[in-house]
Amino acid sequence: MSLPSSLTELVDFDQRSLFISAAAIAFNPTFWNIVARREYRTRFLTRIFGSNQAACYALAVTIFSLGLVRDFLYERALRDQPSHPALEGPLVNYAAYALLAVGNIFVVSSTWQLGITGTFLGDYCGILMDNIVTGFPFNITNAPMYYGSTMSFLGTALLYGKPAGILITLHVLVVYLVAIQFENPFTAGIYAKRDKERAKVAGKPFESKKEL
């Protein structure tokens, strides 16, 4: 099935870098969800690094490094793609900078609220937070890092003036929405188990919390 000519004029699908970037974007959340769930079930990282704290920090370094590689591959893919006049001009640039600013505020503020262990799947390593975080940016969305990252992808696409970047951003959004569907119920289950155990020790009836 051939692609519409209008789309092929906007996006150069012959560029290998486009598909490498898309693969890296899909790989990262797939990787950390598989590894984190295995750690939760087997504590293999804790055994390797000697403690759950060290395991979490090792996972954090790995995830952060993979993010740098992903961003590098995305930027390289954009450079290989054609620009479009509609994505040039001051208004587009203002929108790009606004998206980058808001996106980074979401990412940085959520990391500040959660800390390193809360951000990088410490709950899968047995490092659970005492209370649910409800302050900014979690009072706006329950996945500020994912949506902030998506905004940064879109802002970068506009800044470069590349329609392919907008297409990749849609791919990013889909990947993250799928990741959220896997992560949120699993994480909720971890805290529900903890709360049930606390209630059992305290001799109080347990009430499941549907949302974290």
Annotated ligand binding at 102? The verdict is yes
Contact 144, 78 (CB under 8 A): no
Single-letter code of the amino acid located at 198? R
| Residue 101 annotated as binding site | yes
Q: Residue 69, annotated ligand binder?
A: no
Dist. CA 13–CA 168, nearest whole Å: 12
Give per-residue burial for 140-177: e unless 16+ CB within 10 Å, then b: eeebbbbbbbbbbbbbbbbbbbbbbbbbbbeebbebbe
Q: Is 183 annotated as a binding residue?
A: yes
* Residue 52 CB coordination number (10 Å): 18
What is the distance between the alpha carbons of residues 197 and 68, in angstroms, rounded to a whole number?
Answer: 39
What is the C-alpha separation between 166 and 77, in angstroms, rounded? Answer: 12
163: left (phi over 0), alpha (psi -120 to 50) or beta: alpha
**Residue set of the binding site:** 101-103, 183-184
**Residue set of the binding site for S-adenosyl-L-methionine:** 101-103, 183-184
